[in-house]
A = this chain, B = another copy of it.
Amino acid sequence: MTKWVYSFGNGKADGESKMKNLLGGKGANLAEMSNLGLPVPPGFTITTEVCTYYYANGQTYPADLQKQVDDAVVMVGKLMDAKLGDTQRPLLVSVRSGARVSMPGMMDTVLNLGLNPETTEGLVKLTGNARFVYDSYRRFIQMYSGVVLGLEHADFEEIIEAEKEAKGVELDTELDADDLKKIAGLFKDVVKKKLGKPFPDDVKEQLWGAIGAVFSSWQVPRAKTYRRLNKIPEDWGTAVNVQAMVFGNRGDTSATGVAFTRDPATGEKLLYGEFLINAQGEDVVAGIRTPQAISKIVRERQGAKKPSMEEAMPSMFKELKGIGDKLEAHFCEMQDVEFTIQEGKLYMLQCRTGKRTAKAALKVAVDMVSEKLIDRNTAITRVDPAALDQLLHPTLDPNAPKEKIAEGLAASPGAAVGEVTFTADEAEKRAAEGHAVILVRTETSPEDIHGMHAAKGILTARGGMTSHAAVVARGMGRPCVAGAGALRIDPDAGTMTAGAVTVKRGDVITIDGTAGKVFKGRVPMRQPEMTDDFVTLMAWADEVRKLRVYTNADTPTDAKTARGFGAEGIGLCRTEHMFFDAERIIAVRQMILAEDRGEREKALAKLLPMQRSDFEGIFKEMSGLPVIIRLLDPPLHEFLPQKEEEFASVAAAAGVSVAKLKSKSVGLHEMNPMLGHRGCRLGVTYPEITEMQARAILEAALNMQDKGVDVHVEIMIPLVAFKTELDTLKDRIEAVAADIKKERGKLPHYKIGTMIELPRAALRAGEIAETAEFFSFGTNDLTQTTLGMSRDDAGAILAEYLTKGVITRDPFVTIDRDGVGELIKIATQRGRKTRPDITIGICGEHGGDPESILLCHESGLDYVSCSPFRVPVARLAAAQAALKAVERDV
């Protein structure tokens, strides 16, 4: 005989917390608490297997289920000294769903089941509290009618409102027992009218109705959608929990409350929570009475008058504290518990792992190691790496009033306040005058870099998580809200409009790049703090991780910041950002506008010393660590002016006619620049650009070596699709190296490698590794090409896809495991087969994303590279990946 029903209560249980698949999360934890001897109201769980049977057999139950339920109900009754449907000592129960994972959309709870006209009378006699009983009864009818019978909540609220109006009162609490009894009657009339049959007074019918409703709710559309979005299998099913009711509203020795075993905001070890005397859970939600603190010290800190539970009910507090300690010792985790005290007896209704802030998570993890509750590796897994961002950036004061004016993507974390500016020049000017500014653009381009640097934060109306604004902002550590689609930005008028709100140039706004929100005016902020706990945990993480963590840095400042955060090298130094400096851009444009190789080389000769000095600065900061420098990548038209009004001044500065500039600009125009003349294609076409960059890199390395700096330079060739492209550029670099060797009599050691950022390169990695000494996955471009989706244009599409459940994760935030991930694995295998000691890493935006880091670890990569402020996140995520023994099958 299959066991369909698992009982708990009275210090024992049929199940345990490991049986979540069979009993659901709630049922398994109730059983566990019961096994621990904690005072759990008795009850039983109908297993998820019944749910599976139910759907496999035309929504019917196993033959022997009824008997098992009947027996369990009797047992619960015995423990409670009561009986379901008994007119003297009626047993009341709650019925709740409970899947393996918490799932919105499913039937939640029916309370007070077991009441009917007869048991109500009995209960009045038993408790002497008619108001309590009739209030419970009308609540039961209302709840049951809603979730089990499928009637509208509003039909019942109308009746209550009418009754209050008739009586001339405003609050439900002003209704007395008779009113409530009358209301219960009216409720039952509604049910009969709507359904054509009476509300069930038979308590067995009530119970089976509620059980059936839980199983049926497994297949309601909202639950199905949620499962599809979260890839929860249909056949997991839900369990049903039936549990004896206990009441916190039976007088001054009764109470109800919730508590955390540690402060969820700070991690401090104390009972943190709220409770209400003579109340039910619902009363806390209703907000009519102010809940009181659990611990005395918390009450004192809050300056509250009403006594804490520790003061008002010292013995109950002590018992609760003991239970909290026991649960923590048992689960080795901070707990979030619900409890009810019925006439001086404490009952535990739920326990689960407590949610906490990043700061608290760090402290709890480190403290628990000191307390020997957990080991260091467990501590590492207890902190969400993504949450570390909270600690490294300013955050908005959660309690401050805010007027939100727009929402966009949380493109770069942190909060910033400043005056609105609409152009990069304006931002730079105002910032130079000492003002904090926010740069607001429809979208940014490489020409805006100086303005982005000058600004405290960046806001754009267009673009996704890997748009130019987002990528550059993260690199610089500037908060950024990108793709705030509702914004209409008019730089000429000096306004930005979002719905009815118009903000003018110079007005102050606040942006929250962690949440993707924009607020009017100045919102107070909290500054970040790097605690000792942070340092401790990161040190533990560094010991276990296998992946090295590099950084994407283009300047000595970025390099220094990243090294401070623990970066072990530069995985991506982009050389093009260096080209946008005001004095350089002229030479860059002269190079682009050159008629022939000779003219081009003249312009490049001006750039050479500047690039060389850039690299010298970076080598100095990164002494002893590898620095991977990527050759020029973007299409040349990115360096030419885009707007009509700029042509004249640019032409004059570059010393050419406007007509020529325009003609060149038209000639360089591309339909799809992302797939155009860029990356190594530039070096094939204009080898002199590659030669200049190679010379700048190698000379800088020699110069710094001469000054005692330990230089480890690697030259990275972007956008390779064919091995021959790499060969062509490598030949150029080696020719330059040979020249330098002749001129200086020596050469720095250097490596030449490539980015793997096109599907073809991933597939041909075997032959590409014949030439390349290292691979770096450019997962931004690899995602764009593998998915055929432009990161600049995909914002709206991806948002809609996420909403509609077409995808579950933004592939520009987390590597698309099934598609891009397979290409990463293929390329790694094929590359290693050709060259077993090849170094392989990733330098896309995904390098700072924990889930992507897990994929990199599983794929056997050597390092991840991310923006400086993500380095700690990556260090922790890499450690967690190393600890994750089990292969995931997402």
Binding site for B on A (CB under 8 A): 670-677, 681, 684-685, 719, 721-722, 724-725, 728, 757-760, 763-764, 781, 784-790, 792-794, 796-797, 800-801, 804-807, 816, 818-820, 822-823
Contact = CB atoms under 8 A, between A and B. Distances in A.
A804 B674 contact: no
Contacts of A806: 684, 722, 724-725, 728
A748 to B, nearest CB: 28
Given A673-B671, A763-B818, A763-B819, A797 B758 contact: no
Nearest to A822: B763
A758 B788 contact: yes
A796 B676 CA distance: 10
Given A763-B823, A818-B763, A822-B763, A676 B790 contact: yes
A684 B820 CA distance: 22
Contacts of A681: 797
The 8 closest A-B pairs by CB, nearest first: A760-B819, A675-B790, A672-B790, A759-B759, A671-B792, A758-B788, A676-B793, A670-B793
Contact of A781 (B674, B788, B800): B788
A781 B719 CA distance: 18
A788 B755 CA distance: 13
Contacts of A792: 670-672
Contacts of A676: 789-790, 793-794, 797
A624 to B, nearest CB: 35
Contacts of A684: 800-801, 804, 806
A843 to B, nearest CB: 16
A793 B671 contact: yes
Given A672-B790, A722-B807, A785-B788, A677 B760 contact: no
Contacts of A796: 677
Nearest to A805: B724
B788 A721 contact: yes
18 contacts: A670-B793, A671-B790, A671-B793, A673-B793, A675-B790, A676-B794, A684-B801, A721-B787, A722-B807, A724-B806, A758-B787, A758-B788, A759-B788, A760-B787, A760-B819, A760-B820, A763-B822, A781-B788
Contact of A785 (B673, B786, B797, B818): B786
Contact of A675 (B719, B757, B788): B788
Given A684-B801, A684-B804, A724-B805, 15 more contacts: A670-B790, A671-B674, A671-B790, A673-B793, A675-B793, A675-B794, A676-B794, A681-B797, A721-B788, A722-B806, A724-B806, A759-B788, A759-B819, A760-B787, A763-B823
Copies in the complex: 2
Contacts of A785: 759, 785-786, 788
A724 B801 CA distance: 10
B677 A793 contact: yes
A818 to B, nearest CB: 6
B788 A818 contact: no
A823 B764 CA distance: 11
A785 B758 CA distance: 8
B673 A818 contact: no
Interface centre among A670, A719, A725, A759, by most chain B C-beta atoms within 10 angstroms, is A759
A734 to B, nearest CB: 17
Contacts of A760: 786-788, 816, 818-820
A676 B759 CA distance: 18
A85 to B, nearest CB: 47
A10 B728 CA distance: 51
A764 B822 CA distance: 10
Contact of A757 (B757, B788, B804): B788
Interface centre among A675, A764, A792, by most chain B C-beta atoms within 10 angstroms, is A675
A742 to B, nearest CB: 22
Contacts of A819: 721, 759-760, 763-764
A804 B807 CA distance: 43
